[in-house]
Structure 1
C-alpha cells in the first residue's frame, strides 16, 4: 500500500498538478492582462491550491456511486446529498467563528482538517462509516465559504474579477479533465479505500498552499451576528436579494429532488462501471474547463445575475436524458445517453460556481459581502438538506422516476423566470461590487 501510494502521487498526481500550474501560468497573462504584483502573486497561489483541489474533487465525484455499490439504499443516498450542504446550513451561525485578523488562518485550518478526514477512509468498510466521515468533512469544508467571498472581493480588482476567477477555476477543472478516467480505473482496480485517502492528502496540500495568499486580514469585514433574526431582517430589507434567493431555491430544488435517484439510474438501470462514469465525468470536465473562460468574461460584462439566469436555463438540459432513460427503459448499451447531461452540467456548473460569488458582490452593499454570502449559503444549505428527501418521499409515494426528473426540469424553468425579475441598476452591471 505505501509503495503504491507513493508511486501514484509521484508518477500521476504530481506531474498533473505541476503541468496544470505551468499551463495556467502561461494562459494567465493572456486571459487577465496586467495586474498589481500582489494580485498576480495571489493568482499564482490560487492556481496551485485550485489544481490540488481539482485532484481532490475528482475522487469526491465518485462518492455517490461508491455508496450505491456498497449497498446504500435511496434514503442513505439522500442523506449523503444532504450532508454536502451541512457546512452551508451552518455558515450563517459560523460567521462568529472568524475573528478579525485571523480569517485566513481559520479557513486554512478548517480545510486542512476536513480534507484530512478522507485519509481515515482507509480504516472504514461499508457505507455507514464512509457516510459519517464525509458528512463531517462537508460540515467543515463549507463553513469558510462566506469568508472566501470576502477575500475574493478584497484581493482582486473589480474590473477583472470574473476573468481572474475563471483562471483559478480552470486550474481546478483541468485535473478533473486529466484524472477522471484514471480515478474511475483506480476505483475498479484498487477500491475506494485507496483512492479517497490519496485524494485527502492532495486536498490537505491544497489547504497549505492557500495559506500563502496575501491579504490584509485586519481590513477584512466578515460581519454578521449569526442570529436567525439578523437573517430575517436582511431578507425583509432587501427585496431584490430575496427574489434572487427565491430563484436560487427553485434551481437548487430542481437539481436536488432527483439527486438520490441519479446514481440508482447509473448503477441499477444503465449498469455503468466506474470507468464508464469516469469517462462521462471527463466530458463534464472538458465542457466545464472551456466554459469557465467564457463565463468569466461574460461575468465582467453582464454581471453575476444575468450569468446565473443563463445557467439556470442551461441546467434544464441536465435532467432530460435521465427522464428519457427511465421512460424508455434503456439498458447498459444506452449508457451514453447521459453524455448531453454531463456536458450541460459542466457548462452550467462553471457559470454557477462563478455566479454565486460575483452575484453576491454585485448585489451586496459595501462592507456587507460576507453577510450576504452567508445568507446565500444558509439558503443553499437548507434546500440541500431537505431537497433529496423530497425526491425519495415522492418515489415512496409511487411517483415514477421519470415524473421526478420532469419536476426537476420544471423547477429550473421557474428559477430562470424568477431571475428575470431581479433588476440590476446600470452602475452595478458595469462595476461589480460597487
Structure 2
C-alpha cells in the first residue's frame, strides 16, 4: 500500500472513531440554555438575556475569530491535527470546569470559552482532508463522518433532555460527559496523519482576510454563500416560534414542533448525506450547489406558507435534504478552488464570514417576523437563496472548478 493510501485509510479510520464523540459536543446550545434558565435562574431580564444570547452565539463567535487563531497556530510549527487535539483538550477542560463553576457567570465564561475554542477546528481539518484524500473520495468519506456525528448528536440531545426531565440536578454530569467526550476526541484526532500548516496559510490574519477581494472568484463565492447562509440561519429560531406561538395560528403540540423543526429535518439530512457526498465528488460544483439551494428554496416556501402541518412537514423534509448537502459543502467547498498550500487560509476566511452571519441573522429574522408575518420571513429567506443561486449560476463555466481540486 502506498503512503498516500495508508494516510487516507488511517485518516478515515480515526475520523470514524472520533465522529460519535465529536457529534456529542456539537449541538449543546439548547442544553446550555436550559442549564442557564433552570439551573442558575436566568429567566428574564437584561443580563439573563445577554447571557443566553452568548451561550447560543459562542460557536459563531469562535468562527468569527478563526483567522486570528490560525495565525497563532501557524507559528507553533505543530502538525494540524495536533493543534486540533490541543484545542479539544482545552475545550474538554473548560467544560468539566463549567460543571463546578457554582454560578451563572462562571458557567457562562467556561462554556463560551470552550465553544469559541471548539470552533477553531475547521481550517486545520480541511487542510488534513485536502492532503490525505483524493478529490474522488473526499466528499464520500467526510459525509460518512458527518452522518455518524449527526446521529450521535441527535441521540445525545434526546437522552440528555430525558435525563434533565428526570433529574435536573444531574446537569453537572452532562457537562462532565461533554468534557470527557472532547478529550477522547482529542486523543483520536491526534492519531490522524497531518502536516504543519503551510506558511501561505498562516501569518498576519489580515493577509488571509485580503483573499476575499484579491481572489475575485473566492470573493464572489463568499458573497453568494453569505446570502444563502443568511437566508437559512435567520429562519432557524423562527421555525419553532411560528409553530409553538398561538399568535401565528398553528399552535402545534410539543411533539409536532419537534417533528417539524428538528426530527424530520435531521432524518432527511442523515438519509441524504451519503448521496450528497458522492455527488460532491463527481458533479460540477456549481450544479451541485444549485441542487442543494433548490431544496432550501422550496423548503422555505412550504414551511413558512404551509396551510397545514402536512405541508410544513414536506417543507421540513426539503430543508433537511438541503442540510444534508449544505454541511458537506460548508466543510469542503474551498477545496474546489483553493491551492492546496492555502486551503486553511481560505477556510478560515469562510468560517469568519459564517460567524458574522450566524451572530446577526437570527436578530434580523425576528425583526422581520415582528414587523410583518411568518410568510414574509419565508419569502425573504427564499429570495436571498434565489439571488445566491443566481450568483452561483453565473460561475457555472468557470475553469477553476476543473483545474483546482
TM-score by length of 2: 0.81
Cα separation, partners in 2 of 1:421 and 1:162, compared to 1, 3 Å: same
SS at 2:10 equivalent: helix
Shift of 1:265: 4.0
**How many Å separate the matches in 2 of 1:102 and 1:404?**
44
User: Is 1:164 equivalent to 2:127 in the alignment?
Assistant: no
Cα separation, partners in 2 of 1:343 and 1:390, compared to 1, 3 Å: same
Task: Find the counterpart in structure 2 of residue 16 from structure 1.
Answer: none
Cα separation, partners in 2 of 1:301 and 1:267, compared to 1, 3 Å: same
User: Is 1:150 equivalent to 2:143 in the alignment?
Assistant: no
Shift of 1:394: 4.2
Which of 342, 351, 359 is matched with 1:368 structurally?
342
SS at 2:204 equivalent: coil
SS at 1:372 equivalent: helix
Deviations 1:142-187, CA, capped at 9 Å, x for gaps: 2232121111111112321112212222222332455554343233
**How many Å separate the matches in 2 of 1:124 and 1:177?**
27
Shift of 1:257: 2.6
Shift of 1:268: 4.4
Which of 58, 61, 66 is matched with 1:83 structurally?
58
User: Is 1:225 equivalent to 2:203 in the alignment?
Assistant: yes
Cα separation, partners in 2 of 1:82 and 1:181, compared to 1, 3 Å: closer
Task: Find the counterpart in structure 2 of residue 94 from structure 1.
Answer: 69
More divergent stretch after superposition (151-160 vs 303-312): 303-312
Cα separation, partners in 2 of 1:140 and 1:186, compared to 1, 3 Å: same
Which of 172, 180, 192 is matched with 1:213 structurally?
192
Shift of 1:100: 2.3
- Cα contact 2:59–2:118 (8 A) shared by 1: no
Shift of 1:50: 0.9
Task: Find the counterpart in structure 1 of residue 6 from structure 2.
Answer: 37
More divergent stretch after superposition (408-417 vs 72-81): 72-81
Task: Find the counterpart in structure 2 of residue 195 from structure 1.
Answer: 174
User: Is 1:288 equivalent to 2:269 in the alignment?
Assistant: yes
Task: Find the counterpart in structure 2 of residue 379 from structure 1.
Answer: 353
User: Is 1:390 equivalent to 2:379 in the alignment?
Assistant: no
- Cα contact 2:84–2:189 (8 A) shared by 1: no
Unaligned runs of 5+ in 2: none
- Cα contact 2:91–2:182 (8 A) shared by 1: no
Cα separation, partners in 2 of 1:218 and 1:123, compared to 1, 3 Å: closer
User: Is 1:71 equivalent to 2:43 in the alignment?
Assistant: yes
Task: Find the counterpart in structure 1 of residue 390 from structure 2.
Answer: 417
Unaligned runs of 5+ in 1: 1-34
**How many Å separate the matches in 2 of 1:361 and 1:213?**
19
**How many Å separate the matches in 2 of 1:200 and 1:282?**
26
Cα separation, partners in 2 of 1:370 and 1:229, compared to 1, 3 Å: closer
Shift of 1:78: 5.2
Please, what is the CA RMSD of the aligned residues? 3.5
- Cα contact 1:78–1:389 (8 A) shared by 2: no
- Cα contact 1:240–1:423 (8 A) shared by 2: no
Shift of 1:120: 4.2
More divergent stretch after superposition (69-78 vs 373-382): 69-78
- Cα contact 1:358–1:432 (8 A) shared by 2: no
- Cα contact 1:181–1:282 (8 A) shared by 2: no
Deviations 1:83-131, CA, capped at 9 Å, x for gaps: 3211111111222122323432221111222244333453468976665
Shift of 1:40: 1.0
**How many Å separate the matches in 2 of 1:279 and 1:190?**
27
